[in-house]
Amino acid sequence: AQSVTQPDIHITVSEGASLELRCNYSYGATPYLFWYVQSPGQGLQLLLKYFSGDTLVQGIKGFEAEFKRSQSSFNLRKPSVHWSDAAEYFCAVGPWNSGNTPLVFGKGTRLSVIA
Q: Name the site residues for other proteins (rule: CB under 8 A).
A: 9, 32, 34, 36, 41-46, 49, 51, 90, 92, 94-95, 98-103, 105-108
Distance from first CA to last CA of the chain, Å, rounded? 41
Phi-psi region of 86 (alpha: psi -120 to 50; beta: other; left: phi over 0): beta
Cβ distance to other proteins smaller for residue 15 or 95: 95
Q: Which is nearer to other proteins, 70 or 100 (CB)?
A: 100
- Smallest separation, CB 66 to other proteins (Å): 18
Nearer to other proteins, 36 or 63 (CB): 36
Q: Which lies closer to other proteins via its Cβ, residue 19 or residue 103?
A: 103
Q: CA torsion sign, 61 to 86 to 20 to 70?
A: negative
Minimum distance of other proteins from residue 9's CB (angstroms): 7
Residue 57 C-beta: closest distance to other proteins, Å: 13
Q: Are 69 and 7 in contact (CB under 8 A)?
A: no
